[in-house]
């Protein structure tokens, strides 16, 4: 019997500060995964926590995590240096249903630290650009400093229309500010042949109501990447349940109408 709790050890190849509170960890391992899937990353003595994989699924030498310093494990991961080793289990979960996205326009919405799975999805889209229609990324952050994809924008912009907005603009900020709802005017899609992919903190529901509904994308074609507390990743510990679903097994990607009625 395989011990699914036993993690493997991986080396940190590179560390990069993406914002004051977020670091990118590049880990030396070929990870076979689908954008949207997550891993449990850990450090002996500190524990494990779930992270969505942020890099391209085509990357064969390494994969990236974006770690926001919010809890015990993420703080411990922030204290590490290049060459240190951490542990990994996974990938877990379902990932985005890429086949069903083919030939369609896609609107991606992400706020703050919800960008990793969307970043991975964008890399996938770029690699297979011809198979998809118009692509949009709406990304909101608290301040311009908190935008985690600054060094990706130029590269992504060739294939994806990127609309940035911040809650609190700083002098010199040229993008939008306030709710992302304003950006709807800049989106041109065919709603009957479009999908939406989202990941991020709570206000995402507002994004559905104020952007995706007016755009005419039905709930069944809105895919949400959910975040929950997670300890086992195997559907046993019960921490990650929402309604009758396990985020670790059935998710983390759900159709919006699978989960929008859940109280948890």
Partner 1 sequence: MFLILEKSNIPELLEELSKKYSVVHYRKDKTALSAKGYFLAPRENLFSFAFKRKKLSVSPKSKRKLLLFGLDPVDLEALDQLDEIMTRPKEDYFYLQRRKNSVVVGLSECSIVHPVTVGDLVLEKINKNQYRAIPLTKIGRAITGSRLFKKDLPAGRQGNNPGISNYPEEKDALRELVKNSELLSEAVSWSWRKKRPIWDELEKICLGCGICTYVCPICHCFSVEDDIKLDGSECSRCRSWDACTLNNFAKVAGGKNFRPNIKYRYYNWFYHKFVRAYKEYGKSQCVGCGRCQKYCPAHIDIEKVLSEIVKDYQNEKSLSAGNG
Residues that bind partner 1 (CB under 8 A): 1-6, 44-49, 68, 70-74, 201-202, 227-229, 231-232, 234-239, 241-244, 249, 263-264
Q: Which is nearer to partner 1, 24 or 113 (CB)?
A: 113
Q: Which is nearer to partner 1, 48 or 64 (CB)?
A: 48
How far apart are alpha carbons 164 and 123 in whole angstroms?
A: 18
Q: Which is nearer to partner 1, 73 or 138 (CB)?
A: 73
How far apart are alpha carbons 158 and 69 in whole angstroms?
A: 31
How far apart are alpha carbons 262 and 205 in whole angstroms?
A: 12
Exposure class string for 2-17: b at 16+ Cβ within 10 A, else e: eeeeebeebebbebee
Q: What are phi and psi of 5, to 5 degrees?
A: -85, -10
Shortest Cβ 160–partner 1 spacing (Å): 28
Find all residues with CB under 8 Å of 264, minimum gap 6, and list them.
241, 242, 243
Shortest Cβ 69–partner 1 spacing (Å): 9
Q: Which is nearer to partner 1, 4 or 17 (CB)?
A: 4
Q: Which is nearer to partner 1, 46 or 173 (CB)?
A: 46
- For the chain, give the longest Cα–Cα distance: 59
Question: CA-based Rg of the chain, rounded to a whole angstrom?
Answer: 18
Q: Which is nearer to partner 1, 32 or 263 (CB)?
A: 263
User: Which sign does the torsion angle of CA 263, 260, 176, 55 carry?
Assistant: positive
Shortest Cβ 217–partner 1 spacing (Å): 26
Shortest Cβ 51–partner 1 spacing (Å): 11
Shortest Cβ 150–partner 1 spacing (Å): 22
Shortest Cβ 22–partner 1 spacing (Å): 12
Q: Which helix (H) or strand (E) is 72 found in, with range?
A: helix 72-78
């Amino acid at each position: 019997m395989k011990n699914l709790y036993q993690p493997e050890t991986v080396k940190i190849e590179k560390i990069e500060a993406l914002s004051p509170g977020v670091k990118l960890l590049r880990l030396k391992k070929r990870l076979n995964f689908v954008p949207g899937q997550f891993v449990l990353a850990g450090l002996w003595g500190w524990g494990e926590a779930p992270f969505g994989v942020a890099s391209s699924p085509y990357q064969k030498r390494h994969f990236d995590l974006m770690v926001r310093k919010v809890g015990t494990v993420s703080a411990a991961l922030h204290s590490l240096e290049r060459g240190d080793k951490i542990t990994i289990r996974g990938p877990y979960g379902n990932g985005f249903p890429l086949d069903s996205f083919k030939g369609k326009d896609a609107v991606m919405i992400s706020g703050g630290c919800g960008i990793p799975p969307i970043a991975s999805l964008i890399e996938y889209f770029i690699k297979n650009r011809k198979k998809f229609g118009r692509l949009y990324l709406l990304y909101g952050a608290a301040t311009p400093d908190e935008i985690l994809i600054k060094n990706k924008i130029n590269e992504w912009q060739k294939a994806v229309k990127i609309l940035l907005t911040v809650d609190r603009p700083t002098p010199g900020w040229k993008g939008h500010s306030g709710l992302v709802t304003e950006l709807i005017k800049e989106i041109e899609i065919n709603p009957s042949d479009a999908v939406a992919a989202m990941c991020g903190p709570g206000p995402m529901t507002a994004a559905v109501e104020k952007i995706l509904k007016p755009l005419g994308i039905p709930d069944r074609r809105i895919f949400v990447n959910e975040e929950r507390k997670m300890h086992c990743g195997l559907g046993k510990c019960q921490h990650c349940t929402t309604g009758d679903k396990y985020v670790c097994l059935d998710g983390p990607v759900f159709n919006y109408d699978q989960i929008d009625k859940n109280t948890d």
